[in-house]
Amino acid sequence: MNDTPSSAPRRRLYGRAQGHKLRPRQQALVDRLLPQLSWPDEGAVDPAALLPGFGSHVLEIGFGAAEHLIGQAARAPQTGFLGIEPFLNGVAKALAGIEEHGLENVRVKRGDARDELERMPDAAFDRVFLLFPDPWPKARHWKRRFVQEDTARDLARVLKPGGALRVATDVKVYADHALPILLATPGLEWTAREAGDWRVPPEDHITTRYESKNLGDCAPVFMEFVKG
């Protein structure tokens, strides 16, 4: 178990926290449903305690409009899913999807996944998704990128032995930044053996509207790692 004190200062969160004003139904979901499905800002964050009775647990970091999170959770009702997203509008969309599909296997948190990871126990998840994170392309902003040496160590730590990490990006400089860090992270083993392994979407991948917009400067790169 990670012994980071729960009173550790919260990191500064970069980027927008909210976009357009929420519609009345979205705001009602945030007011009513989010308190039921979230977890406290202090103390340990144990997915097995938040979602008891599930055989496996999955974490999605920065779920955006929640299409991937909701789609994966709907496919696997016997798996518990935790999603973390700082953008309020994305959280509202996740809540709408949870209610629309009647999902009982999802918990969501509006916050910074870096802080939340530090509060999670070792070997907590069977899978972790980090899909199309903000690339922060300017050199002076590289320190804001999610994949850093410390976060990579935490990603490896919270995975169970044999668990899988998937990092996807459509920005070349982000792939060039993240891959060496992940390759050097103890406990993570890259599964790719040929170019198609990172160029072809995995069979269980759910393509979101954001991905379909092709806003990046390269075809999507899928980096798959397993916990050794």
Residue 217 bears catalytic tag? no
Q: Which residues are annotated as a binding site for substrate?
A: 138, 170, 208-211
Catalytic residue from among 134, 176, 197, 217: 134
Tokens of 62: 């920065």
Contact 14, 62 (CB under 8 A): no
Q: How far is CA 186 from the centre of its chain?
A: 20
Dihedrals phi, psi of 156, to nearest 5 degrees: -65, -40
Q: Which residues are annotated as a binding site?
A: 60, 85, 112, 134, 138, 170, 208-211
Angle (CA) 179 200 141, round 5°: 35
Contact 190, 183 (CB under 8 A): yes
Q: How far is CA 28 from the centre of its chain?
A: 25
Q: Which residues are catalytic?
A: 134
